[in-house]
Amino acid sequence: MKHALPLTALSSNITDNNKMPESQTEIPVDELSPEQAETELARLASEIAGHDRRYYQKDAPTISDAAYDALRRRNEAIEARFPGLTRPDSPSRRVGAAPTSGFSKVAHAVPMLSLGNAFDAEDVAEFFARIGRFLGLPETDTIDVIAEPKIDGLSISLRYEGGNIVQGATRGDGATGENVTANVKTIAEIPKTLRGQAPDVLEIRGEVYMGRQAFAALNEQREKDGDAVFANPRNAAAGSLRQLDATITALRPLRIFCYAWGETSEMLADTQTAFLDRLREWGFPVNPFAGRCRGVAEALAKYDEIYAARAQLDYDIDGVVYKVDRLDWQQRLGFVSRAPRWAIAHKFPAEKAQTVLNEITIQVGRTGALTPVANLAPITVGGVVVSRATLHNADEIERKDIREGDTVIIQRAGDVIPQVVEIVLEMRPSSSKPYQFPTTCPCDLRTPAFREPGEAVTRCTGELACPYQQVERLRHFVSRDAFDIEGLGEKQISAFFERGWVKSPADIFDLQKNDSDREPKLRELEGWGDKSATNLFAAIEAKRTIPLERLIYALGIRQIGQATAKQLARHYGSFSRWQEAMHQATMERSGNRLETKKAETVGEAYAALCDIDGIGIKMADDIVAFFSEPHNVAAIEALGDRLTIEEAAQPDTSSSAVAGKTVVFTGSLETMSRAEAKATAEARGAKVSGSVSKKTDYVIVGADAGSKAKKAQDLGVAILSEKDWRALIGG
């Protein structure tokens, strides 16, 4: 058995761009237990978030689109089988990544969302069926869609006022992008003044790309000039558009296809088809393959047509997008989390390759998860050279009988490091032996590694005594979506930890105060100087004021991602109220450790925590477990003493009669589907619950209402008919 790299070597070999996930399994979705599914969803949320940062912020994706889509597809399949385990920070509820520094920020008036994915004809058929169910259409009705190639480029928003371009912005995290106005004005195909009549305010969206021939010529010239070449046209387009010097952008052969809109001062059309016609009239390039398809069969035929033409195109595409043609239907369908219900991307398949697995090593994550890593003979897959692959966990190694020295088939459907799909048994060396999964952590303490019954993950039992876990938690604390302290990344955290300067999050904010008493001082270390030390201290000081949601996320509580942290912050409002409620919930749960599915039997604070949308008992227990550890409580209190923690911003639902109300739907509704009813309620600031309690404000009853209606009557909760509900929310 091979041991893990020492801490310093590990941190230099597995960076933020190619770090293995903490836990992962490729057990077929239909064979996952609820516990395994929960662990897998947590792993996927973290892994996909890392890819989003590399793609949207750094223009440096480390996996192919097909590989990325495979991750999302697995996440969606697990959520479909276990809908109750869907995480608030699930990739299905998130798009993009926060914009980087260097450009001013632009808040999108209408969010720039992503798309759900389909991977085969069955997925496409289900997309059409799902639309029909949501809208309550007869099965005989035909749903028309617009089909168009999915361009592999950089999403852009173009704002026009009075017919003149006034702003260009990247997508960023969907809510906030980067102001690249000067750069987009250099792209010849983007009209600076619109032709004909246009709304006073018009935001057009499209994809900036670089043609293959232009890309090849650019790389040839860069190679002659001794400059680094771009990995692919998408990277070249993104890097060119995001130049701080617009004169450089002007020299790059960028192009654009437009296909959507954001904020407008008037209705643009009745159908997607008519909107594309208006785009052409205004002077925007529209992809020539875009066309209307009647039903599933025509949509799939269009997919085949575009796929067949793919190799002859001068631009990269990675699938076909279908959009419901009727705009009134689009409006009714609305959005779910990160994507519209009325559109989907039918993606092209992934790539595989064969190589040799030289060695298996172990990596330890911040929650103590031991993840086996396959070190491969370097191989090119999908245009990217890879040399490491995840082996997920002990079960995966045993199930596939993966051994050192095996020839393996890999697929880039995992992190920067692909997954091992299968072994080539006939090429196995005669001297090979089954891999023995370690029973101790590879850290210096050699603490026992334990696997909870029903879990796929083996964890180090050393908790915060384990240096691997300590460093990983600190790295998470300063990561981009947490405190995001400029100049304080993984390398610096590891170095400060090894010197004993930073052992807990609060130590970061004491770095400058304690530096005067140290020998050597920070500025005297190799790679540092007066300016860099001063800049770091200033960056730390700048983060002494932090939103509550970012603090909660930064703590690294198991299962608590960005979306859940935001929900907790909004629910409790302030740091003190959240802290007090968590302490109370912890005391209630510690006094009642019986396995129960009725949170209200534990205590009021614990029940309130479980009742927050998307949390439930399992996630609540992870939060309670975090607050049960005295060192965690001490760390939070120390941060509270050093920081100004901003209260959570609440959404403006002042005009809604149901904002802040808890509602329950029961029975069959006549004028809208259950999904549409829930989406409508949530859009108006209401919380939709699946159970009736004394805290429920309204129960909306349809035909064949059952026990929920009776319980509402017993508790004295207001009962509304579907007609009453529609009148209450304004139609």
Give the model confidence (pLDDT) of 261-315 as tens digits.
999 999 999 999 999 999 999 999 999 999 999 999 999 999 999 998 987 889 9
Return the higher-pLDDT residue of 271 and 212: 271
Tell me the CATH number at 15: 2.40.50.140
672 and 611, same domain (yes or no): no
Note the pLDDT of residue 381: 74
pLDDT tens track for 37-47: 888 888 888 88
Lowest mean per-residue pLDDT among 84-88, 177-181, 405-409, 709-713: 84-88
pLDDT class of 14 with cuts at 50, 70, 90 = very low
Active-site position among 19, 105, 150, 597: 150
Q: What angle do CA 249, 254, 258 make, to 5 degrees?
A: 125
Identify whether 690 is part of a domain: yes
Residue 139 pairs with which residues in a beta bridge?
A: none
| φ, ψ (nearest 5 deg) of residue 90 | -60, 145
CA distances from 82 to 24, 331, 414 (A): 17, 28, 21
Using CA atoms of 223, 225, 227, 233 in order, give the dihedral in degrees to the nearest 10: -50
Identify whether 89 is part of a domain: no
CA distances from 638 to 321, 507, 631 (A): 50, 9, 10
Judge whether residue 594 has pLDDT over 70.
Answer: no
Lowest mean per-residue pLDDT among 228-242, 246-260, 533-547: 228-242
- Mean pLDDT, the chain, rounded, equals 84
Judge whether residue 61 has pLDDT over 80.
Answer: no
Q: Nearest Cα to 579, choosing from 551, 615, 537?
A: 551
Q: Tokens at residue 649, please?
A: 């911003």
Number of Cβ atoms within 10 Å of the Cβ of 270: 12
Judge whether residue 22 has pLDDT over 60.
Answer: no
The number of folded domains in the chain is: 5
Task: Give the Cα separation of 20 and 549 in Å (integer).
Answer: 26
Judge whether residue 727 has pLDDT over 70.
Answer: yes
Q: Nearest Cα to 170, choosing from 102, 268, 248, 265?
A: 102
Lowest mean per-residue pLDDT among 41-55, 217-231, 263-277, 360-374: 41-55
Number of Cβ atoms within 10 Å of the Cβ of 171: 24
Identify whether 83 is part of a domain: no
276 and 393, same domain (yes or no): no
Note the pLDDT of residue 12: 27
397 and 485, same domain (yes or no): no
Judge whether residue 228 has pLDDT over 60.
Answer: yes
pLDDT class of 59 with cuts at 50, 70, 90 = low
pLDDT class of 21 with cuts at 50, 70, 90 = very low
pTM of the model as a whole = 0.51
Note the pLDDT of residue 94: 58
Tell me the CATH number at 137: 3.30.470.30
Judge whether residue 540 has pLDDT over 50.
Answer: yes
Q: What angle do CA 193, 199, 204 make, to 5 degrees?
A: 65
Residue type, 257: F
Mean pLDDT value of segment 139-156: 94
Tell me the Cα Rg of the chain. Answer: 27
Residue type, 725: W
Of 451, 468, 500, which marks where a domain is finished?
A: 451
pLDDT tens track for 452-482: 777 788 888 776 678 888 898 899 999 888 9
CA distances from 13 to 4, 366, 525, 646 (A): 11, 17, 22, 37
Note the pLDDT of residue 598: 64
366 and 307, same domain (yes or no): no
382 and 484, same domain (yes or no): no
Note the pLDDT of residue 382: 61
Specify burial of residue 594 (Cβ count, 10 A radius: 0-12, 13-18, 19+). exposed
Tell me the CATH number at 707: 3.40.50.10190
SS3 131: helix
Note the pLDDT of residue 15: 32
Mean pLDDT value of segment 111-139: 91
**Is residue 151 within 8 Å of residue 316, measured between CB atoms?**
yes
SS3 343: strand
Identify whether 631 is part of a domain: yes
The answer to whether the Cα torsion of 409, 412, 416, 422 is positive or negative is negative
149 and 223, same domain (yes or no): yes
701 and 556, same domain (yes or no): no
Note the pLDDT of residue 562: 86
Domain that residue 598 falls in = 548-646
Return the higher-pLDDT residue of 229 and 592: 229
Identify whether 639 is part of a domain: yes
CA distances from 527 to 495, 524, 533 (A): 12, 8, 10
pLDDT class of 19 with cuts at 50, 70, 90 = very low
Note the pLDDT of residue 452: 79
Q: Tokens at residue 56, please?
A: 């949207």
**Is beta strand 144-151 parallel, antiparallel or unpaired with respect to 116-118?**
unpaired
111 and 165, same domain (yes or no): yes
340 and 361, same domain (yes or no): no
Note the pLDDT of residue 35: 79
526 and 565, same domain (yes or no): no
Q: Tokens at residue 241, please?
A: 């558009």
Of 286, 314, 347, which marks where a domain is finished?
A: 347
Q: What percent of the chain has pLDDT over 90?
A: 41
Of 619, 646, 673, which marks where a domain is finished?
A: 646
Find out whether the peptide bond into 138 is cis, omega within 30 degrees of 0.
Answer: no
Q: Kindly report the three-state secondary structure assignment for every residue of 663-714.
A: EEEECECCCCCHHHHHHHHHHCCCEECCCCCCCCCEEEECECCCHHHHHHHH
262 and 227, same domain (yes or no): yes
Mean pLDDT value of segment 369-373: 90
Judge whether residue 229 has pLDDT over 50.
Answer: yes
332 and 286, same domain (yes or no): yes
Return the higher-pLDDT residue of 134 and 490: 134
615 Cβ contact partners less than 8 Å away, ≥ 6 residues apart: 88, 564, 567, 609
pLDDT tens track for 372-388: 999 999 887 765 677 88
Number of Cβ atoms within 10 Å of the Cβ of 603: 18
pLDDT class of 6 with cuts at 50, 70, 90 = very low
Q: Tokens at residue 450, please?
A: 């334990």
Note the pLDDT of residue 417: 58
Per the annotation, the verdict on 694 as an active-site residue is: no
Highest mean pLDDT among 18-27, 242-251, 278-287: 278-287
pLDDT tens track for 666-699: 887 877 777 778 778 877 878 777 778 888 899 9
**Is residue 194 within 8 Å of residue 250, measured between CB atoms?**
no
Note the pLDDT of residue 42: 85
pLDDT class of 56 with cuts at 50, 70, 90 = low
Identify whether 158 is part of a domain: yes
Tell me the CATH number at 536: 1.10.150.20
